[in-house]
Structure 1
Amino acid sequence: MGDESPLLKIEGLRTVFRTSVGEIAAVDGVDLAVPRGRTLGIVGESGCGKSMLSLSVMRLVPPPGRIASGRVLLEGRDLLTLAPAEMRDVRGSRVAMIFQEPMTSLNPVHPVGRQITEAMRAHDKRASARELRDRAIEALRRVRIPAPERRFDDYPHQLSGGMRQRVMIAMALACRPALLIADEPTTALDVTVQAQILDLLRELQAETGMSIVLITHDLGVVAEMADEVAVMYAGKVVERAAAVEIFASPQHPYTLGLLGSIPRLDEDRERLLAIEGAVPPPFALPKGCRFHPRCPFAIETCTRAQPMLEEVAPGHLAACIRAPVEQAVELVA
Structure 2
Amino acid sequence: MRDNAPLLRIEGLRTVFRSSVGEIAAVDGVDLDVPRGRTLGIVGESGCGKSMLSLSVMRLVPPPGRVAQGRVLLEGQDLLRLSAGAMRQVRGGKVAMIFQEPMTSLNPVHSVGAQITEAMRAHDKSASGAELRDRAIEALKRVRIPSPESRFDDYPHQLSGGMRQRVMIAMALACRPQLLIADEPTTALDVTVQAQILDLLRELQDETGMSIILITHDLGVIAEMADEVAVMYAGKVVERATAAELFASPQHPYTLGLLGSIPRLDEDRERLLAIEGAVPPPFALPKGCRFHPRCPFAIEACTRAQPALEPVADGHLAACIRAPVEQSAELAA
The CA deviation at 1:331 is 1.4
One-letter code of the match for 1:83? S
Distance 1:170 1:12, change over 3 A: same
Q: Which residue in 1 is equivalent to 2:35?
A: 35
One-letter code of the match for 1:195? A
TM-score if structure 1 supplies the norm length? Answer: 0.99
The CA deviation at 1:323 is 1.9
Q: Is the counterpart of residue 237 in structure 1 residue 237 in structure 2?
A: yes
1:227–1:243 Cα contact (<8 Å) kept:
yes
SS at match of 2:250: coil
Distance in 1, matches of 2:243 and 2:272, equals: 22
Q: Which residue in 1 is equivalent to 2:92?
A: 92
Distance in 2, matches of 1:277 and 1:62, equals: 28
Matches within 5 A, 1:1-333: 3-323=3-323, 325-332=325-332
SS at match of 2:90: helix
The CA deviation at 1:325 is 2.9
Deviates more, 1:106-115 or 1:1-10: 1-10
Q: Percent identity?
A: 88
1:249–1:325 Cα contact (<8 Å) kept:
no
Distance in 1, matches of 2:256 and 2:171, equals: 37
The CA deviation at 1:327 is 2.4
Distance in 1, matches of 2:325 and 2:40, equals: 23
Distance in 1, matches of 2:191 and 2:58, equals: 29
2:253–2:327 Cα contact (<8 Å) kept:
no
Deviates more, 1:124-133 or 1:317-326: 317-326
Unpaired segments ≥5 residues, structure 1: none
The CA deviation at 1:332 is 3.5
SS at match of 1:282: coil
- Runs of 4 or more consecutive aligned structure 1 residues displaced over 2 Å after TM superposition: none
Distance in 2, matches of 1:314 and 1:85, equals: 41
Report the count of equivalent residues.
Answer: 333
1:256–1:332 Cα contact (<8 Å) kept:
no
Q: 1:61-104: per-residue Cα shift (whole Å, max 9, x none)?
A: 00000000000001111000000000000000000000110000
SS at match of 2:26: strand
Q: 1:236-276: per-residue Cα shift (whole Å, max 9, x none)?
A: 00000000000000010000000000011221110111000
2:312–2:324 Cα contact (<8 Å) kept:
no
SS at match of 2:283: helix
Unpaired segments ≥5 residues, structure 2: none
The CA deviation at 1:302 is 0.2
Q: 1:205-247: per-residue Cα shift (whole Å, max 9, x none)?
A: 0000000000000000000000000000000000000000000
The CA deviation at 1:324 is 5.3
One-letter code of the match for 1:90? V
1:100–1:188 Cα contact (<8 Å) kept:
no
Distance in 1, matches of 2:76 and 2:317, equals: 24
Q: 1:13-56: per-residue Cα shift (whole Å, max 9, x none)?
A: 00000001100000000000000000000000000000000000
Distance in 2, matches of 1:216 and 1:108, equals: 26
Distance in 1, matches of 2:322 and 2:305, equals: 12
The CA deviation at 1:311 is 0.5
